[in-house]
Amino acid sequence: MLHPVILSGGSGTRLWPLSRQNQPKQFLSLIGDHSLFQETVLRASKLPDAQAPITVCADDHRFMVGEQLQAIGVRSGGILLEPVARSTAPAIAAAALHALVGDPDALLLVLPADHLIEDEAAFRDAVSAALRLGREDWLVAFGIRPDYAETGYGYILRGDGLGADGYRIERFVEKPDQATAERYLAEGTYAWNSGMFLFRARSYLDELARLAPAIHAAAQAAFASAGTDLDFLRLGHDAFAASPSDSIDYAVMEKTDRAAVVPVSCGWSDIGSWSSLWSVAERDADGNRHEGDVISVDTRDSLVRASDRRMIATLGVEDLVIVDTADATLVARKDRVQDVKIIVDRLKAAGRQEHLFHRKVYRPWGSYDSIGVGERFQVKKIVVKPGAALSLQKHQHRAEHWIVVSGVAEVTCDDKVFELRENESTYIPRGSVHRLRNRGSEPVELIEVQSGGYLGEDDIVRLEDVYGRS
């Protein structure tokens, strides 16, 4: 059977300030109503005989994966949590081991979670061709037929034909310079390396054991020592951390003699930058992509994305990217957006938080939005989902005032448990053991005012948590 494997470990730094470590690009709705992750899952679920998708993701994103699957009504085939990032080769190995538990002849369709495919019919045809090769124990890569000389992708040179379905892979090549990319385009035997693959789980593991035995051994040990946590499978930390960090390309595909490529033209993009998003998005007669409350005058070939908090106006500009969020705004020339990661690196070096979190932060129980910060105080809007509860906790450095705006909140404060309704409030002293719970069928919204000498998120001592957080 065909088991889609969704790799959801990327951080999407080149789409800052919208993409952040806590909510990277695969979980954002960049084009259409669904996130890139949801679009990938839905696309895979439409394939004939496709089983429930296996997702490999970081621990911080586990609840986001679960909620986004639930939102589109797709059953999970397993959510595997990587304790540390070790690139794609060990992640795929863990997914292969998981698939083999219930299907000794499992075929894996490996898909990055953050790619766009516009022509799903062409994609399905390519998967059908790859399936025929995969059943003959070929390890198949999907090569995108290039329609321009791109220097931002790796390439695959095809070799001898394998019937009507594909070709042997002659070699993989790194990202070329402009002249080399133009030559590749002219020769017509090169394809962009999409990062999508199809093969038998057992064939991949056998080649991994032969060509990268340390990765194979680490993945086996991590899977054998995995533990269940709610709906998630936590791979063994020490074993997985011991794995070399290597991609499937370097560890297996470039070395095996069973590598094949299926060329495909399917409107593919890895949405690797704001300029690539502009290029695939619907644009107006002046070449502009506007999102949100935007007024543009004499503006051309630009992407302008306004937040829901303010209007953006442009006048007499062209080839710009302007992206506004609640706490950061990016203005860049379209030909420089590949360098946005330099800004992210500077934020990290300065010890700032804007690369990690949006002002609005999502949690498994709901969300909070820091709507005001000053010396020794912070104001948050908190939303608790129906049936959800924050951890039983205490703070060493701050006190809190809670004012309910809507809904009915159940409050635990030391030895007291009581309800707060709309326009009612309470005080949580520093050091008090407390919890906020929503037992109703509607969200609870409240305003929290924190006061004290230190207001960081790490001033939380969790005593009990239904989500398994420490």
Provide the pLDDT for residue 406.
97
Task: Using the predicted structure, report yes or no on whether residue 274 has a pLDDT greater than 90.
Answer: yes
Other Cβ atoms less than 10 A from the Cβ of 168: the count is 15
pLDDT tens-digit series, residues 2-14: 999 999 987 788 9
Of 412, 413, 409, give the one whose Cα is nearest residue 421.
409
Helix (H) or strand (E) run with residue 342 in it: helix 340-349
pLDDT given for residue 122 in this prediction = 97
**Contact status, residue 94 vs residue 80, Cβ threshold 8 Å:** yes
The average pLDDT across 211-239 equals: 96
- Judged against a pLDDT cut of 80, whether residue 351 lies above it is answered with yes
Instruction: Please state, for a pLDDT cut of 70, what percent of the chain lies above it.
Output: 100
Structural tokens at position 172 = 């993989």
Question: How does pLDDT run across 383-412, given as a tens digit for each residue?
Answer: 999 999 999 999 999 999 999 999 999 999
- Give yes or no for a contact between 239 and 225, defined as CB atoms under 8 angstroms apart: yes
Would the pLDDT of 135 be above 80?
Answer: yes
Q: What is the pLDDT of residue 468?
A: 79
Residue with the larger pLDDT of the pair 468 and 28: 28
What is the reported pLDDT for 210? 97
The two three-digit tokens of residue 265, written as one number: 């033209």
| Helix/strand/coil for 159 | strand
The model's pTM: 0.90
Q: How high is the mean pLDDT of the chain?
A: 95
Structure-token pair, residue 381: 């809007």
Q: What is the pLDDT of residue 326?
A: 92
**Structure tokens belonging to residue 326:** 């609640």
Instruction: Please write the tens of the pLDDT for every residue from 109-131.
Output: 999 999 999 999 999 999 999 99
Q: What one-letter code names the amino acid at 255? A: K
Q: Is the pLDDT of residue 461 over 80?
A: yes
Under DSSP, the state recorded for 23 is: B
What's the pLDDT tens digit per position in 39-97?
999 999 999 999 999 999 999 899 999 999 999 999 999 999 999 999 999 999 999 99
414: Cβ contacts below 8 Å, ≥ 6 apart? 432, 433, 434
Q: Identify whether the C-beta of residue 196 lies closer than 8 Å to the C-beta of residue 142.
A: yes
Name, in order, each residue with C-beta under 8 angstroms of 15's C-beta and a sequence gap of 6 or more: 25, 28, 30, 271, 273, 274, 277, 340
For 319-340, the pLDDT digits (tens) are: 999 999 999 999 999 999 989 9
Answer yes or no: is pLDDT of 272 > 90.
Answer: no
Q: Letter for the amino acid at 307?
A: S
Q: Residue 12 has what pLDDT?
A: 81
Alpha-carbon gap, residue 280 to 393, rounded angstroms: 46
| pLDDT given for residue 97 in this prediction | 98
CB 22 within 8 A of CB 361: yes
Q: Prior bond to 17 cis, omega within 30? A: yes
What span, in angstroms and rounded, lies between the C-alpha atoms of 25 and 36? 7
Confidence of residue 231 (pLDDT cuts 50, 70, 90): confident
Residue 26's pLDDT is what? 95
Residue 457: the pLDDT is 86
**pLDDT of amino acid 469:** 74
The residue whose two tokens read 């797709």 is 74
Distance CA 355, CA 132 (A): 43
Question: What distance in Å separates the CA atoms of residue 34 and residue 469, rounded to the nearest whole number?
Answer: 28
Rounded-to-integer distance, Cα 307 and Cα 295, Å:
13
Percent of the chain with pLDDT over 90: 91
